[in-house]
Structure 1
Amino acid sequence: MRFIDMFAGIGGFHLGMEQAGHTCVGWIEWDKFARQSYQAIHDVEGIWNASDIRTVRASELPRADCWCFGFPCQDISVAGKQKGFTAGKRSSLFFTVTGLIRDLEEEDRPSYLLIENVKNLLSINRGFDFLKLQIELDEIGYDVEWSVLDSAEVVPQHRERIFIVGHLRGRRTQQVFPIVQNDREVNRRADATNTLTTRYGEAQGSGSYIAESEPPKVKQAGNLMNTKYFGGNPQPGRVYDPSGISPTLSTMQGGGQEPKVVIPVSSPDVLNKNQNGRRFKNNGDPEFTLTARDRHGILTNNMKIRKLTPRECWRLQGFPDWAFTRAWEAGLSDSQLYKQAGNSVTVPVIKAIAERMELP
């Protein structure tokens, strides 16, 4: 399929869709630093693009089968002022996108819409904002399905996001949700969403499931021998992941099975509550949700906090190292690289959804 990447950021949608076999025909992003990374990472030569969606005309857009967009969440997130996506200046850009669709003839409209946002979109303003979203999509001809997915299913980071798929009526599109992982289908929740959050042992309420029938095996996730806390010795630098989640916090390879303490840390010096009031997780838990505001690290067994590097944060979002290297070599500062990781979507989650999207 051909897709347009809107509110593109550094191209998490682009990479995930591309990995699933789809082709980018256009992208829109206003932040100059995100554009710098996007152009360094992706092959965009000759591809239509724009910097401000508010100035784009529908007639300018290339024909596409899918529009992908994670419209700004600052007015919706629990970390923001929660003005809502209709009253908030940034999140109301959702209606800028639907306005472009209204200006297109039906035969030119995308068959799919793939939309991402924070989970709070379901409940903000007592759920009325999400109802308005559904009404708006219905009025422009789209039937919708949605699911709350947790990045911890595919990367060691707890990051719940709502994904909405719009299907243009009359087109033969394929149902996307529920996502099946390893021949397991997640349970339906009462709010008609699904969750891919992995729970070990007894199921934790509606929407969760038992992912393993036996205790997970401890495996090495990487090695921190290059950090100053280990003095270059590879033995104490080894990091182990008892949950069996795929490694992303590695800096080099290593062997052995000696368990280590690796505790995710989020902004321990922040006085106000964040991430449900927690600062430290348990050994082996997925990392806190990456944000552009919080600072993330790990507490090692010598009780010292090591800040995550920008590369590690990109890994937690599922970006391959070559993508990070291209952005870094393009001259982006560490602060921008941290911010871009926190604002991105998780690439493997997008790929899992995109693999379910096809046209006859």
Structure 2
Amino acid sequence: MTTKEIALKWGVSVTWVTVLCKKGRIEGAIREGNRWYIPEDAKKPEDKRSCKNAPAKARFRFIDLFAGVGGFHQAMRYLGGECVMAAEINEECKKTYRLNYHTEEKEIRGDVREIDPTTIAPFDVLCAGFPCQPFSKAGAQRGFQDKTRGNLFYTIMDILDAHPEVKFVILENVRNLADKTENWDIITSELTQRNFYITEEPIILSPSDFGIPQIRERVYILGIRKDIRNEKILSNGFIHKTDLQLEKHFKKCKMGDAWTILEDNVDDTYIISQEQEQMIYAWDEFRIGTGLKVIGFPVWIDSFGVGIDDDNEVFHSQGYDDMPSWKQNFLRHNRKLYLDNRAFIDDWVKKYDMFSKIKLYKKFEWNCGTDVTDIHDCLIQIRQSGIRAKRPTFYPSLVAIVNTPIIWDKNKKHFRKITPREAANLQSFHGGFKFQGTDATQYKQLGNSVNVRILKILGESLFALANNGWDGELDGKAH
């Protein structure tokens, strides 16, 4: 019998039968070309996609792939969803996930590549912040050519193949995914083949677009199954950004918004080291002492040519001729800065013994223009590229490494790092969310996470595109 004939006999979908054949779960099934044939007396395999733990009150059911510590879970739960399966390979993330969702969560599985899609309970919404390394600027940017991580997108497609009942897809990835047309073409083609209308182009959003003080651009890919769409809104094969009506949620960040996420009574352990604080003050003294209200370029001590009179000697020692033009420009600016303020800088370098300092203390960036005059009113970062002072409008993107923003604590009269709880506020995690593990682990988990508020907005906007105000009921015919 054909897959269509056996599906009709068993009262299931053709896709489900095909997946069972591929998994070798139907005895006697054979493949000829692109078609499967099943003995007419074959026994129907047990459907392991149990719904028994899903509560009756759930508006919809979802799965949470590459779940991290549950940013998607928070957003979908807020919208009335029940998670029937989560997958996360990192053990520390799984511990945090269980700590927060054990009362609702049936199970948290591991490597998504080792999950049999036919064992996942029926669900309506597929959520996945699939690994970003193949597309990130921090990596080789091999995209779908990456056979270890890039192909995890196709694992998501395998799950969709086994679950034709799925109504919505919500995917998240790094901003860089949108930079290569071939990546987007593959995503569009694969989801369109599976009967989904998806966003016409990558939707690039940052928490700062919604008044949340963090710059963190990410790509969001939304899909709705063609047959449940509102045809009056979606008529030409795609979801347009205007269809989502996101603009009603937009809100600009303003000066001082960075302070809105801060907590009271922070532990003293978050105060930075005495040496770090000294270096911040040293560079502030430099800024004031040179009389520069605006420093429009990174200051590099090693490019000053301290004590050297001949410009050519300085440039030659720095390898000027072999530098890219942007770096040559910085070198010229730094040399002029030194010559214009030579007496002050010579004394300053000696006072703080700057040439004995580690490399990151020898560089400084003032990114506040004239909007900020007091170093205590800045956001500070101490990075491998130096000490950076920024306007208190929004924080730089939280990343999956320990590179924590620093603020002035008026109560403690010291500079301190923002806490994991404050970092969680930047990701819109609710106040009752529980973390465990070291601070370094928590910062990393939050740096890898998604912004909950953005997903709430996108989920609500996507669901509103369904026909007749989608009620969240599963399709009985699909499982």
- Equivalent runs, 1:70-219 vs 2, <5 Å: 70-104=129-163, 106=164, 108=165, 110-123=166-179, 126-145=180-199, 146-152=202-208, 153-172=210-229, 177-178=241-242, 179-180=244-245, 183=248, 198=252
SS of residue paired to 1:322 = coil
CA distances 1:237-274 after superposition (whole Å, capped 9, x unpaired) = xxxxxxxxxxxxxxxxxxxxxx99443334x2414xxx
Task: Check conservation: 2:409, 2:415, Cα contact below 8 A.
Answer: no
Shift of 1:182: 7.4
1:348 aligns with 2:453: yes
Task: Check conservation: 2:71, 2:450, Cα contact below 8 A.
Answer: yes
Structure 1 or 2: more helix by fraction? 2
Q: Give the equivalent residue in structure 2 for 1:297.
A: 405
Q: Determine the C-alpha separation between the residues in 2 that align with 1:223 and 1:322.
A: 14
CA distances 1:184-217 after superposition (whole Å, capped 9, x unpaired) = 6xxxxxxxxxxx58377xxxxxxxxxxxxxxx89
Task: Check conservation: 2:94, 2:108, Cα contact below 8 A.
Answer: no
Task: Check conservation: 1:71, 1:91, Cα contact below 8 A.
Answer: no
Is the deviation greater in 30-39 or in 313-322? Answer: 313-322
Q: What amino acid is the match of 2:135? A: I
SS of residue paired to 1:335 = helix
- Equivalent runs, 1:248-287 vs 2, <5 Å: 261-266=376-381, 268-271=382-385, 280-287=388-395
- Equivalent runs, 1:22-37 vs 2, <5 Å: 22-37=81-96
Identity of paired residues, percent? Answer: 26
Tell me the TM-score normalized by structure 2. Answer: 0.54
Shift of 1:226: 4.4
Shift of 1:318: 0.9
Shift of 1:87: 2.1
Which of 296, 301, 314 is 2:424 aligned to?
Answer: 314
Task: Check conservation: 1:150, 1:197, Cα contact below 8 A.
Answer: no
Q: Where do 5+ consecutive residues of structure 2 fail to align? A: 1-59, 234-238, 273-373, 464-469, 472-479
Question: Which protein is bigger by CA-based radius of gyration?
Answer: 2
Q: Determine the C-alpha separation between the residues in 2 that align with 1:136 and 1:53.
A: 19
Q: Determine the C-alpha separation between the residues in 2 that align with 1:46 and 1:291.
A: 27
Moved over 6 A (4+): 216-220, 301-304
1:357 aligns with 2:462: yes
Q: Determine the C-alpha separation between the residues in 1 that align with 2:263 and 2:435.
A: 24
Q: Determine the C-alpha separation between the residues in 2 that align with 1:260 and 1:63.
A: 55
CA distances 1:145-177 after superposition (whole Å, capped 9, x unpaired) = 141111112421111111111122212368684
Task: Check conservation: 1:6, 1:70, Cα contact below 8 A.
Answer: yes
Q: Determine the C-alpha separation between the residues in 2 that align with 1:348 and 1:129.
A: 26
Shift of 1:21: 2.0
CA distances 1:49-108 after superposition (whole Å, capped 9, x unpaired) = 42121111221111111100010001111122212133252232011110222244x3x3
Inter-CA distance 177–306: structure 2 relative to 1 (3 Å threshold):
same
Q: Where do 5+ consecutive residues of structure 1 fail to align? A: 185-195, 201-215, 231-258, 272-277
Count matched residues.
289
Task: Check conservation: 2:245, 2:461, Cα contact below 8 A.
Answer: no
